[in-house]
Structure 1
């Protein structure tokens, strides 16, 4: 038996128990109620092939960490099957009820985790319902999968690892091909489930990346339903990162650029902002159509939006926003928009060596594009970079180390800036830009 002093727990606080006076009461907890790993009361006791009982959550973590032995006996596990120990669980529940006056609540009966066989069976039913065009039955089965996933992460992993992504992608494509408006509810539910099932496998990616599926996701992205827009951009972020042909197919859909700019300008949450920026980045990453797309995004005012985001963005968003700005500055319209914005040079110089290596590389690349005189411009920008202390920062970039391409651009920038150094006194490199007015 294990003897531990227990105190009453209310709303996360602990109050001392008193027995007749001020003496603290000792509460005896049967040792076989405690998980051998955490030494806490078991909520979902399961027994392994070695005969030792553990709390399911703790033994799951043990096995997922790569261990194939029993923590207590150190014996090799002949099977990873976990048999629910209902007897111990009922004894623990009864004990908790008996000691309710000591602050213990009855442990709820845990739900049995879903099995690969159950997942396979429901996938087969979804395929059959899809072939019949049975929207009602398909909706019922998709909601059942989502309910399983909500119960615990174990269920979610089991669902994702047993072919559900492909089945739902195929169903999504099939119903989208018939009518998006007619099947809007079902398609929305499928898409929300697919967001956490990546990677989908080659076949699943093919189904979700088809012309019909891409048009459906674009339709949701352009709609007014915030949840649907969120799911669409999260799915697109992962899908477009996998294959350039999906990017090309998506960019051919009318109105997706306006929808993405709207997502960035009027963000739902930081996660959606990051996803939207990544989708735009994939679209304008160097390709046969990237310059044309960059020009379209510049015309939609994305340069100004991104610069305002950069003024106070956290690291992850900052890196993605700089990547997008670098892509937009690959076209003359983007360069012109960036050169004419008051925040451009202060923000870019400030981000060098301030955020991350990736942010520094993007910042140097953008400055290099803006300060070059290939188009007869860039002189005013070079002077402004000097005023902001950019020369000193670029020297530091070469000293701390960077990629070869970034080193080449930094060297070229230093040569260009050096032409203007004798014409003005460089300002303090610590200069801030809070004096600049923002549009919000």
Structure 2
């Protein structure tokens, strides 16, 4: 084994005693031909060339079918661990640790699709027998595999784990949530790093029994259990299946729980996921009647005020979700009435225009348009308030900087609604005081 050394060129630094510092050079045989970095897990292809496993796997995942060095078409994609070379690299690292070289750890052998298939078969059999503790051990083994490397995670997901776990979750939930809570929580933990799920897995996780189980977790589990459940519900509803939305909305106490999570701000994860679930519930109902009932329910629970509180001080993602829900709630008369009676509504909506993101601007303009156009009971109060806090200037700027057709139409109509009031009112607040007036 050859140690590579070379003297630094030019103005090299010196150690004590006047001796020049030497730069340690990694032997070429230790470098991966793809990245030129020292290999951590050398594997040899059928072409006889050795690469670092992570690099050559990425090479093939990108659609290449040739050996990077020889350019031969690879017909056998088996990767044989080069233990001899790996031991040589580790020995070299140990010999040069005084120069700051760290020994590479011995890599774990990646799992194979066959191993995953065998484990999943055992998981399904355990679920069929309702063997809670046997299934827990198998799922824990799967989670341990996934924790070893990203490659293992991909292998587990690509070979059907989400479907097997979701169907097992449904089986145990159908039996009894209280009796099978240990295995149900273990399965849900594993599913959380497998999102997004396939269609079949969505169907199993969206069953009434599975939904009831996740709602039970929201009520009775600790913070970790609540987070896993609300994230799973958010992922499930994002798939766009109206039946899942309808099924969840029929479970008693769901709306109250979601509003409670938004108000209490237990954790950022729970707050964001709860906002997403509420958005799907108020915007994805299968009929206008059920949609109105859902919106009325959230309005009655005080969600409008809760969302306005979020708009006072929060982050970008929560601003967008809160504005999206407000815009949806304002399609109902009850939502508009509650909002127009709150002194924060109009100033906050105007403030978020052109301040957070294009999406937030779209929702803010739409919500303001609904308040001003359809708020018959406030007798133009919303229009007057909007003018006083600088909405006219902001809407002009929205049209100037560009926006979508729907936002452009609503902004234009808002300007027409405000125009008759302009002569009598003076803007008292504006985020764009230096914008040149066009009138």
TM-score by length of 1: 0.90
Find out whether 1:164 has 2:178 as its counterpart. Answer: no
Kept in 1: contact 2:65–2:73 (CA 8 A): yes
Aligned residue in 1 for 2:356: 355
Structure 1 pair 4/277, CA: closer, same or farther in 2 (3 Å)? farther
Structure 1 pair 17/264, CA: closer, same or farther in 2 (3 Å)? farther
Moved more, 204-213 or 272-281: 272-281
Aligned residue in 2 for 1:144: 141
What CA deviation, in whole Å up to 9, does each residue of 1:290-316 have, x standing for no partner?
A: 221122222222222222222233322
Structure 1 pair 71/313, CA: closer, same or farther in 2 (3 Å)? farther
Counterparts of 2:346 and 2:318 in 1: how far apart (Å)?
A: 19
Aligned residue in 2 for 1:202: 199
Aligned residue in 1 for 2:436: none
Counterparts of 2:16 and 2:118 in 1: how far apart (Å)?
A: 56
Kept in 1: contact 2:394–2:432 (CA 8 A): no
Counterparts in 2 of 1:21-420, with a 5 A limit? 21-242=18-239, 243-285=241-283, 287=285, 288=287, 289-373=290-374, 375-377=376-378, 379-420=380-421
Q: CA RMSD in A?
A: 2.3
In the TM superposition, residue 99 of structure 1 has moved relative to its aligned partner by: 1.9
In the TM superposition, residue 252 of structure 1 has moved relative to its aligned partner by: 0.5
In the TM superposition, residue 29 of structure 1 has moved relative to its aligned partner by: 2.8
In the TM superposition, residue 373 of structure 1 has moved relative to its aligned partner by: 4.6
Counterparts of 1:293 and 1:65 in 2: how far apart (Å)?
A: 46
Kept in 1: contact 2:340–2:378 (CA 8 A): no
What CA deviation, in whole Å up to 9, does each residue of 1:46-71 have, x standing for no partner?
A: 12232221212222333333333333
Counterparts in 2 of 1:421-440, with a 5 A limit? 421-430=422-431
Gaps of 5+ in 1: 8-15, 433-440
Counterparts of 2:284 and 2:235 in 1: how far apart (Å)?
A: 19
Structure 1 pair 333/2, CA: closer, same or farther in 2 (3 Å)? farther
Residue-pair matches, total:
424
In the TM superposition, residue 352 of structure 1 has moved relative to its aligned partner by: 1.4
Structure 1 pair 194/218, CA: closer, same or farther in 2 (3 Å)? same
Kept in 2: contact 1:143–1:189 (CA 8 A): yes
Structure 1 pair 6/70, CA: closer, same or farther in 2 (3 Å)? farther
In the TM superposition, residue 224 of structure 1 has moved relative to its aligned partner by: 4.2
Query: In structure 2, the residue corresponding to 1:66 is in which secondary structure?
Result: coil
What CA deviation, in whole Å up to 9, does each residue of 1:49-96 have, x standing for no partner?
A: 322212122223333333333332333332333221111111111111
In the TM superposition, residue 38 of structure 1 has moved relative to its aligned partner by: 2.4
Kept in 2: contact 1:177–1:212 (CA 8 A): yes
Kept in 2: contact 1:44–1:56 (CA 8 A): yes
Counterparts of 1:6 and 1:245 in 2: how far apart (Å)?
A: 71
Structure 1 pair 93/20, CA: closer, same or farther in 2 (3 Å)? farther
What CA deviation, in whole Å up to 9, does each residue of 1:14-68 have, x standing for no partner?
A: xx89586542134343211112222222111112232221212222333333333
Kept in 1: contact 2:265–2:271 (CA 8 A): yes
In the TM superposition, residue 253 of structure 1 has moved relative to its aligned partner by: 0.4
Moved more, 326-335 or 415-424: 326-335
Kept in 1: contact 2:242–2:284 (CA 8 A): no
Kept in 2: contact 1:394–1:410 (CA 8 A): yes
Structure 1 pair 222/378, CA: closer, same or farther in 2 (3 Å)? farther
In the TM superposition, residue 97 of structure 1 has moved relative to its aligned partner by: 1.7
Counterparts of 2:81 and 2:16 in 1: how far apart (Å)?
A: 37
In the TM superposition, residue 163 of structure 1 has moved relative to its aligned partner by: 0.8
Structure 1 pair 215/61, CA: closer, same or farther in 2 (3 Å)? same
Kept in 2: contact 1:5–1:25 (CA 8 A): yes
In the TM superposition, residue 354 of structure 1 has moved relative to its aligned partner by: 2.2
Moved more, 165-174 or 374-383: 374-383
Query: In structure 2, the residue corresponding to 1:107 is in which secondary structure?
Result: coil
Kept in 2: contact 1:371–1:382 (CA 8 A): yes
Counterparts of 1:286 and 1:6 in 2: how far apart (Å)?
A: 69
TM-score by length of 2: 0.90
In the TM superposition, residue 167 of structure 1 has moved relative to its aligned partner by: 0.7
Aligned residue in 1 for 2:437: none
Query: In structure 1, the residue corresponding to 2:24 is in which secondary structure?
Result: strand
Structure 1 pair 250/32, CA: closer, same or farther in 2 (3 Å)? same
In the TM superposition, residue 247 of structure 1 has moved relative to its aligned partner by: 0.5
Kept in 2: contact 1:49–1:81 (CA 8 A): yes
Query: In structure 2, the residue corresponding to 1:54 is in which secondary structure?
Result: strand
Structure 1 pair 181/403, CA: closer, same or farther in 2 (3 Å)? same
Counterparts of 2:247 and 2:5 in 1: how far apart (Å)?
A: 64
Counterparts of 1:294 and 1:33 in 2: how far apart (Å)?
A: 64
In the TM superposition, residue 403 of structure 1 has moved relative to its aligned partner by: 2.9
Query: In structure 2, the residue corresponding to 1:27 is in which secondary structure?
Result: strand
Structure 1 pair 17/401, CA: closer, same or farther in 2 (3 Å)? same
Counterparts of 2:212 and 2:206 in 1: how far apart (Å)?
A: 10
Structure 1 pair 138/368, CA: closer, same or farther in 2 (3 Å)? same
